Structure 1
Amino acid sequence: MPAADAVPLSGPRFHTDPADLYREMRKRHGSVVPVVLPGDVPAWLVIGYRELHHVTGDTSLFTRDMGLWNQWPRIPDDWPLLPMVNRRQPSIYYTVGEEHQRHVAMVGPALEGVDAFELRRNAEQIADDLIDRFCGQGEAELIGDYAKLLPILVLGRILGFPDDEGPELARAINALADGGEDAITSHQYLTAAMTRLVATKRERPGADVTSRMLAHPVPFTDEEYVLDLQAITAAGHLPTSDWIGNSLRLMLTDDRFAASLSGGRNSVGEAMNEVLWEDTPTQILAGRWTSRDTHLGGQHIRAGDMLLLGLQGAHGDPQVSQSPHGGYVGGNNAHFSFSHGEFRCPFPAQEIAEVIARTGIEVLLDRLPDTDLAIPAESLVRRPSPFLRGMTELPVHFSPTPTVGKTTGSTAGRPPAGGPR
C-alpha cells in the first residue's frame, strides 16, 4: 500500500504550476518522492538530477524488467496505465539485456536509413499543406490543426503508412498517453494499424523504415515488428507534437522571442532548447524496477518497486542548476528530455524529431509572421496527463494570407529548413 504521505500523481498542479509542485515535493521528501498512481498503486518518483542519472545509468540495479514489479497481483486488466507498463510486450521499449540489443540492432539502422533531405522536404510540404487549410481564415487552433497532425503525417511518410491514417493514429496515441477511459481501446486500434502496416510492407516493400526492419537479417516475429513500430510511432509523435506546441506557446507569450514572430528565426533553436529544460514534453517516464533492496535519495526502495523517471523535476534540481531557481541555463544541453543511458532515445530518432519540430515552427512563422494569441496567456490549458506536458489548445489570429498550393513544397519563397538562420 502507498505511504501515508505519498503524493497522488494526478491533479491540476501538474499542469498549472509543476515547478512549484516539484519544489514542494523536494522540500518535503527529498530527491525521491513516494507517489500514488491510479488505483492506489504505489511508486517512487525520482526528481533529483544526480539520482536520475544514477537510476538511468545502472541497468542491473534499476532494470527495465517490469516482470519484477511487486504490484502485478493488484493490477487489473483494465488499468488505464497498463499500455505504458506491460510485462508481456517483447518490444524495444520493454526488453532488457541481449534481447533489448537484438531489437536495437534492427530498429537503429532502419531509422538511420531515413534521408535527412527527404525528411525536411516532407516536413515542409506537409507543414505547408496544413497551413493552407487555415491561412486564409485569419485564425487557427495550432494544436489540433497543426502540432498534433504534423509529426504523425511526417512519420507516416518515413514509416510507410498512408497520409489518411495519420489523424486517427494521432487521436489513438494521444488517448493512450492520457490514460483515460479509452486508453485500452486506443491501444487496440494502434496495434491493428501497425499489424496492417507490417502485412502491407511484406507484400509491397519500399524505401521506408518498416521495410528496412522487415529486411533485417535476424528474424523477428510479426508481434515484435508490430510492437516496435508502435513504440517508434508513439515515441516519435507524442513528444514531437508537444515540443512544437510548447515552443510556439513560449514564443507567443515571452517577449524574449518576439523577434521570431516578425520574421527573424535566430530564436527558434533557443526556444526549443529552453522548452526541453523548462517545459519538457515528457515530464515523467515509466519506468524502472529495482532488482534488490536498496537506498536512493534517503529512501528505502524494496526489490520490485517501480521508479518513475521525473525528467522535469530533475531539470529543476537546484543542486546542479546554475539558475537561481533551478532549471534552464542558456546553451546547456545536459537535459533528460531524451532520457539517458542504455535506454536513451536513439540518436537517429532524436534527429528526426528535431527536424520535424524545427521545420514545423519555422514554416509556420515564415507563412504567418504576425501570429498572436487569440486569448489571454493565463487562459491556456494543458493536456490532462502528469506524464506528458503539452497544450490542449493554442488559439491564434494573424493576417490572412494566400495558400502556396500542394506542389510548391519548400520552394514557397523561403530557404529549406535547416539553412541559414
Structure 2
Amino acid sequence: MTTPPLDPTHPSHAPGAAAQGCPMRAAASDGVRPLYGAEAESQPYALYEQLRAEHGEVAPVRLYGDEPAWLVLGHRENLEVMRSRRFSSDSRNWHAIQRGTLAPESPLRPITAWQPLVALTDGAEHARLREAVTDGLGRVNKHRMRRYVVRYATQLIDDFAGKGRADLVADFARKLPALVITQQLGIAEADALPVGSAVSDMISGGETALAGNELVVRTVHELVRSRKREPREDLASRLLAHPQGLSEEEVRQHLRLLLVGALEPTANLIANTLRLVLTDSRFRGNLSGGQMTLPDALEQVLWDHPPLAVVPTRWAKDDTDLGGTRIAAGDMVMLGLAAGNVDPAIRPDSSKPVHGNRSHLAFGAGAHECPGQDLGRAIAETGIDLLLERVPDLTLAVDDDELQVVGTWMSRRLTGLPVVFKPAQQERPSQAVQQPVVARAHLEPVAAGTGSGRPSSWRFWRR
C-alpha cells in the first residue's frame, strides 16, 4: 500500500478535500479569501483547489492589512508571468507603494521593499547584477565543492552514527547546507552553523528573527571588509572584483540574499527527500530495486514541495489580461509555484510520481530563474547518497503522520525527522574528516568487510 505523501495537506492525500467541506477560513465578505492565517496556511493545497474551482487559473486573494493581490494558480500562467515583460519585479510599480497605503508595520514590507538586488530589479540594472552573480556562481569548482560536501557530511554522520538515533532535520539537513554554502561564500567554518541558525530564525519570523538578521548582516559586513583587503578564491571576492563594478553595499546585500535564498531551500530539499525515501513505498521499493535514481526522488520533491510555495514579487506594469482575468496596472501578481505544480492541466493525477520531468516551477523561469539551482541539487544529492551508504538501515522513529510541517503562506518546513538505526561500531574516521579528498568513498562500491554493510539492492543508480 502506498504510504501518505510528504505533506498531509497535499491534494493527493485527500482528493476533493475542498469539495467535501474542508475547514478553511471563510471567504471575506466580498468573496475574496485571505491567503494568510492558521487555517489557510495549515491546508494550502486545499485552499488552492478551492480557489481554482471558484476563479480559474488566476484568483483574487487578500494579504496582511487587507491588501489585495492576485495568486496565479495555473502552470502556464505562472510561466507567462515569469517570462513576460508585462510584469515587473520592481515593487515601485505597486500601487500600494505609490499611494502610500501599505502600513509601515506591515509584514509585507521586508519582503517587498525595493533594494538594488537582482531579485527586485528589471532591465539593464537587473542584467548588470545578475551577470555578476551568475559569473560568481559559475566559477564555483564543482568537484572541489563536492569534496567539501563529503567532508562535512562525514563529520555530521560521525557525530550520530554511534548513537543509533538522530533527528535528520536538526542533525543533518539544516547543518550540511550551512557548512557547504558558507564555505563557498567565504565565511569562516567556525561561523557556518551560527549563521545557518540565524538564517533559519530570520525566515521563521519568530522572536529571534531580528537578532538572526543582525548576525547575518554583521557577518557579511565583516566578510566584505576582509576580502576587500585580502581577496581569496570565494564568491565574496569574485563579486568584489567583477567587471560590473558592484559597490561594497551591493556585494553585502547580495551575499545576504544568497544566504537566505540558498540555505533554507536546500535544507528543505534534503529533509523532504529523506522523508520521501523513508516513508513512501513508491520510491523506497523502486530505490531498493535499483530502478529509481536519487535525482528522480529530488525532482519529485521539487514538484510536490517547492522550496517557496508563493513568490510575492511581481507587479503588473500596465492593464493586462492573464488567464482570462483582467489585471490592473500596479496590482501585485504572486507566483503560485506550489499551486502551478499541481495544476490538473499538466498533472491530472498529482498522486502519481513524476519521472524524468524537470518542468516544475520550483526554481522559476525566465530572467529571474534561480542561478544556483544546480549547486543546491548537488549538495542534496551527494549528502543524501553518502548518508544512505553510511547508515543503510534508517527507520523512522515515529509514525509518518506524527511528523510536523510548519510554515507560512510563502513556504513550509519539516520540523523534525527522528530515525533509529543500528549504531556503528567502527572508530571515528578522524583522518577522513580532516581531508576533503574522500569523495570517492561514496561513489564506488565498498569492499567486503570494510564498508557500511549496505546490501547491494540499496545501491543507487547514478546519473
TM-score by length of 1: 0.91
d(CA) in 2 for partners of 1:141, 1:74: 45
Match of 1:156 among 182, 197, 203: 182
Change (3 A) 1:53 1:91: same
Aligned to 2:92: 67
Aligned to 1:79: 106
Change (3 A) 1:42 1:183: farther
**Matched ranges for 1:14-413 at <5 A:** 17-59=43-85, 61-72=86-97, 73-87=100-114, 89-259=115-285, 266-321=292-347, 323-325=348-350, 329-346=354-371, 349-401=372-424, 402=426, 403-405=428-430, 406-407=433-434, 409=436, 410=438, 413=441
Cα deviation for residue 37 of structure 1 reads 2.0
Cα deviation for residue 217 of structure 1 reads 2.3
In structure 2, what residue type is equivalent to 1:69?
W
Change (3 A) 1:3 1:319: farther
Secondary structure (helix, strand or coil) at the match of 1:39 reads helix
Cα deviation for residue 273 of structure 1 reads 0.7
Secondary structure (helix, strand or coil) at the match of 1:71 reads helix
d(CA) in 1 for partners of 2:152, 2:290: 22
d(CA) in 2 for partners of 1:416, 1:151: 23
Deviations 1:16-41 (A, max 9, x none): 54433322221012111222222322
Secondary structure (helix, strand or coil) at the match of 1:20 reads helix
Work out the percentage of aligned pairs sharing the same amino acid: 35
Secondary structure (helix, strand or coil) at the match of 1:19 reads helix
Secondary structure (helix, strand or coil) at the match of 1:198 reads helix
Change (3 A) 1:81 1:178: farther
Secondary structure (helix, strand or coil) at the match of 1:324 reads coil
In structure 2, what residue type is equivalent to 1:32?
V
RMSD: 2.5
d(CA) in 2 for partners of 1:90, 1:3: 38
d(CA) in 2 for partners of 1:266, 1:325: 18
In structure 2, what residue type is equivalent to 1:241?
A
Cα deviation for residue 257 of structure 1 reads 2.4
Larger displacement relative to structure 2 (203-212 or 288-297): 288-297
Larger displacement relative to structure 2 (336-345 or 188-197): 188-197
In structure 2, what residue type is equivalent to 1:394?
L
8 Å CA contact 1:282–1:337 kept in 2: the answer is yes
Secondary structure (helix, strand or coil) at the match of 1:390 reads strand
Secondary structure (helix, strand or coil) at the match of 2:92 reads helix
TM-score by length of 2: 0.83
Deviations 1:164-189 (A, max 9, x none): 22222222222332344544443333
d(CA) in 2 for partners of 1:186, 1:70: 31
Cα deviation for residue 296 of structure 1 reads 2.0
In the alignment of these two chains, the number of paired residues is 415
In structure 2, what residue type is equivalent to 1:276?
L
Deviations 1:368-415 (A, max 9, x none): 111111111011111322212321111111111143331365268432
d(CA) in 2 for partners of 1:91, 1:262: 44
8 Å CA contact 1:286–1:308 kept in 2: the answer is yes
8 Å CA contact 1:83–1:187 kept in 2: the answer is no
Aligned to 2:450: none
d(CA) in 2 for partners of 1:314, 1:244: 22
Change (3 A) 1:390 1:22: same
Change (3 A) 1:188 1:79: farther
Change (3 A) 1:263 1:196: farther
Aligned to 2:30: 4
8 Å CA contact 1:261–1:371 kept in 2: the answer is no
In structure 1, what residue type is equivalent to 2:384?
I
d(CA) in 2 for partners of 1:416, 1:64: 45
Deviations 1:299-349 (A, max 9, x none): 33222111111001001111123x434885322111111101111112xx1
Secondary structure (helix, strand or coil) at the match of 1:313 reads helix
Change (3 A) 1:17 1:415: same
d(CA) in 1 for partners of 2:169, 2:419: 10
In structure 1, what residue type is equivalent to 2:382?
T
Deviations 1:214-263 (A, max 9, x none): 11123222111111111222111111111101111111110122258869
Aligned to 2:19: none
d(CA) in 2 for partners of 1:104, 1:324: 37
Where do 5+ consecutive residues of structure 2 fail to align? Answer: 1-27, 446-459
Change (3 A) 1:384 1:126: same
Larger displacement relative to structure 2 (210-219 or 260-269): 260-269
d(CA) in 2 for partners of 1:313, 1:328: 17
Secondary structure (helix, strand or coil) at the match of 1:34 reads strand
